């Protein structure tokens, strides 16, 4: 295997850890995440879990195709629920019908079309991303049609829609390309090289999506002020000097150096000159 292919594989494996960033940003703000954005918090939490499952499946089973199917279901269900809370009630029926149709396509894709352990889920990915792109466009249209006191770059729902549009509008191409490559009569080494080349743009899109979601979570206040973020047992105010030990005997704690201060001058009584 050529060196550039190994370097590209290392690059892809590093980008797979991108969900850790928004999850860390959300974890320290989990008590102040608004109701509408809580499904996004669950989404990045599931992505972190899938990251570790991916590493385990690749090492133990040498097959992580089923995680592509599961990741698409998590993506569509959680973010569709977030848009259901953000958009007005007249779109709730559209979201319910869209998620139901996606569920049917996902089941058919896993059971019959691509296979849960055979090929990546290009059909369900296309259906789910089409629904999320539509919801993101509706959300951006609503934001731009209503006059707000804050600009768009200071609104978290705008960054959510940017993250959806950045990933869902392009990821289907990578899924289709992977399926095409693995159904061709190439050698194993050639398929591995093609897989790494095709997967790289998808990993970059995931990293961009996670970066935008991390920026979105930064709009919410922290659960604790930065000066009180450390636990009590780790705070520097509880640190005490450790005692010295010699041959198992404690010699006491080191005393802090004493400051040598000059004695205060005692005021002398003022004596007036004696009158003649």
Binning pLDDT at 50, 70 and 90, where does residue 272 land? Answer: very low
Reported as a single tens digit per residue, the pLDDT across 133-152 is 999 999 999 999 887 778 88
Strand pairing partners for 245? 250
> Quick check: 29 and 223 in contact, CB under 8 A?
yes
CA-angle at 205, arms to 203 and 210, nearest 5°: 95
Report d(CA 164, CA 118) in Å as an integer: 27
Residue 246's beta-bridge partner residues?
249
Say what the pTM is. Answer: 0.81
Is residue 1's pLDDT more than 70? no
Task: Tell me the per-residue pLDDT of 165-175, one tens digit each, with 9 for 90 and over.
Answer: 999 999 999 99
Long-range contacts of 13-20 (CB under 8 A, 24+ apart): 15/203, 15/204, 15/206, 15/207, 16/51, 16/54, 16/203, 16/206, 17/51, 18/203, 18/206, 18/207, 18/209, 18/210, 18/211, 19/44, 19/47, 19/48, 19/50, 19/51, 19/206, 19/210, 20/48, 20/51
Cα-flanking dihedrals φ and ψ of residue 29, to 5°?
-125, 15
What backbone phi and psi angles, to 5 degrees, belong to 249?
-105, 135
């Amino acid at each position: 295997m050529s060196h550039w292919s190994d370097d590209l594989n290392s690059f892809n494996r590093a980008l797979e850890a991108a969900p850790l960033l928004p999850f860390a940003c959300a974890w320290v703000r989990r008590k102040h995440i608004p109701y509408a954005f809580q499904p996004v918090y669950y989404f990045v939490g599931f992505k972190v879990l899938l990251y570790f499952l991916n590493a385990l499946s690749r090492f133990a089973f040498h097959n992580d195709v089923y995680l592509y199917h599961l990741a698409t279901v998590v993506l569509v269900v959680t973010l569709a629920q977030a848009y259901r809370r953000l958009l007005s009630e007249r779109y709730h029926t559209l979201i319910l019908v869209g998620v139901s149709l996606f569920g049917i396509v996902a089941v058919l894709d896993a059971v019959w079309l691509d296979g849960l352990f055979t090929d990546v889920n290009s059909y369900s990915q296309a259906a789910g991303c089409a629904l999320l792109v539509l919801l993101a466009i509706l959300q951006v249209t609503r934001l731009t049609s209503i006059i707000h006191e804050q600009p768009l770059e200071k609104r978290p729902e705008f960054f959510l829609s940017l993250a959806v549009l950045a990933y869902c509008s392009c990821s289907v191409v990578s899924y289709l390309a992977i399926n095409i490559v693995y159904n061709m009569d190439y050698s194993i080494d050639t398929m591995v090289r093609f897989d790494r080349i095709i997967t790289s743009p998808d990993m970059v899109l995931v990293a961009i999506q996670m970066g935008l979601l991390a920026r979105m979570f930064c709009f919410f206040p922290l659960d604790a002020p930065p000066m009180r973020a450390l636990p009590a047992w780790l705070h520097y105010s509880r640190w005490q000097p450790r005692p010295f030990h010699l041959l198992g005997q404690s010699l006491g704690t080191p005393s802090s150096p004493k400051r040598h201060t000059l004695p205060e001058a005692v005021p002398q009584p003022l004596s007036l000159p004696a009158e003649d």
